[in-house]
Amino acid sequence: MQTASARAQETEADATPRQDAESLEAILRIVRRYLGMDVAFVSRFRDKDRLLELVDDESAGPLHQGQSIPLSEGYCLKVVRGELPEFIPDTSRDAVARQLPATAEIPIGSHLSVPIVLPDQHVYGTLCCFSYAPNQTLDERDVLLLRACAEFLALHFEASARNERNRATIASAMHDVMAQGAPRIVFQPVYHLPDLRLHGFECLSRFDAEPRRTPDRWFAAAHDAGVGLELEFQAIRNALAYLGRMPVGPCMNINSSPEMILSDRLLALRDSGHDLSRVVLEVTEHAVVRDYAALSQALKPLRADGVTLAVDDAGAGYSSMRHILSLEPDIIKLDMDLTHGIDADPKRKALAKGLTSFAHEIGSLVVAEGVETRAELLTLARLGVDCAQGYHLDRPLDFEQALERCRGPIEHGRCG
């Protein structure tokens, strides 16, 4: 069975390389069938061997993807050096091919091979096809087709290498930013309705480094570079570092992706000494959840230690109800797009009222995000929404300002 950590690592990795590989495999299969050959493969030259990166073979022959073969063995290097022709309709009629052990061992009756040359003229490897029996129909036109495919592959591999270099550069920059302590944490107050007692704070990330961009773009860039979970976990640690300095009472909401929960990294919080009963874990509605059973299982130890679960951005899309029904959150947070203009929009009122009634029916607290006007606030209170946050009530605060808010009335009791 795949572990939660392995699932998270798979999700963290960019899906695009897998899609690209599938596309290349399809192209290889089409070329092999068009030429009437039994096996087609792409080999990448390394210092002392060649790696079979892609293999298309319906016969389950001796070659397989990921196989490493010494450069001195086989046809590939000899074709690149000009010691073998690019197409051999019958290997028994070529003196060099007859002497190669692979010709008899595989066996290879006919062979086509062309080099894959990158734009900088570096030979990446070869694109090869062979059949077990001679194929007298092979000619120069087949080589031209193979060369065209090799040119396409060269462009793909060059782009992949460039993207990988860019990812490495971004990852290095992200590590530098994290080494400087980023992200900085600010605190968005959450107030109880209708009396506006302080309920808690949502911890938000801010970045002071260059390039200047919004927090969501920082996290997106980190995930694209493969270090998203590292940055996310540092944000969580930075936020919880304030918990012990915060007066007893207010909850602290921290945002977490499903990937973070599945990675098991949050289990370290159980040994951190933090009062987890004051921690609210917010899972966004926009986050893709592929396995709710696994996510619920990963949440169990945290919830057993008192962590409160919130589904963020409810009402923003069709995933809301799946999150709510599958995860059974203690808190449902209404998305700001639902909150904005709710006082003048009957449809928004109806949806908010329905979500609030449903939440109360299952024992969940309702928090409205993005409240920007008094009219919105009064409407939400009339609809029975329990808590609210937004610029009309308070802007994100630094820690000292947050402490000032704690000196006023605080709603004591459960965070959810």
Q: How far apart are CA 259 and CA 383, in angstroms?
A: 34
Q: Please state, as a whole number, how many other Cβ atoms lie within 10 Å of the Cβ of residue 158.
A: 15
Band of residue 60 on the pLDDT scale cut at 50, 70, 90: confident
Band of residue 65 on the pLDDT scale cut at 50, 70, 90: very high
What is the share, in percent, of the chain residues with pLDDT greater than 70? 92
DSSP element (H, E) containing 406? helix 399-406
pLDDT (tens digit per residue) in 382-395: 999 999 999 999 99
pTM value? 0.78
DSSP element (H, E) containing 54? strand 49-57
- Are the C-beta atoms of residues 236 and 256 closer than 8 Å to each other? yes
Reply yes or no on whether the pLDDT at 7 is more than 50.
no
What is the share, in percent, of the chain residues with pLDDT greater than 90? 82
Band of residue 3 on the pLDDT scale cut at 50, 70, 90: very low
CATH architecture of 7-166: 2-Layer Sandwich (3.30)
Output the six-digit token pair for 28. Answer: 């290889």
- Are the C-beta atoms of residues 332 and 314 closer than 8 Å to each other? yes
Band of residue 412 on the pLDDT scale cut at 50, 70, 90: low
The sign of the torsion formed by the CA atoms of 211, 217, 218, 220 equals negative
pLDDT (tens digit per residue) in 149-180: 999 999 999 999 999 999 999 999 999 999 99
Start-end of CATH 3.30.450.40 domains in the chain: 7-166
Band of residue 18 on the pLDDT scale cut at 50, 70, 90: low
pLDDT (tens digit per residue) in 94-151: 999 999 999 999 999 999 999 999 999 999 999 999 999 999 999 999 999 999 999 9
| DSSP assignment of 107-129 | T-SEEEEEEEE-TTS-EEEEEEE
Reply yes or no on whether the pLDDT at 410 is more than 70.
no
pLDDT mean across residues, the chain:
91
Reply yes or no on whether the pLDDT at 9 is more than 60.
no
Start-end of CATH 3.20.20.450 domains in the chain: 183-406
- Are the C-beta atoms of residues 219 and 227 closer than 8 Å to each other? no
| DSSP assignment of 146-197 | HHHHHHHHHHHHHHHHHHHHHHHHHHHHHHHHHHTTPPEEEEEEEEETTT--
Per DSSP (E only), the strands in 207-298 are 251-255, 279-284
Class of 183-406 in CATH: alpha beta
Of 88 and 18, the structure prediction assigns the larger pLDDT to: 88
- Are the C-beta atoms of residues 235 and 222 closer than 8 Å to each other? no
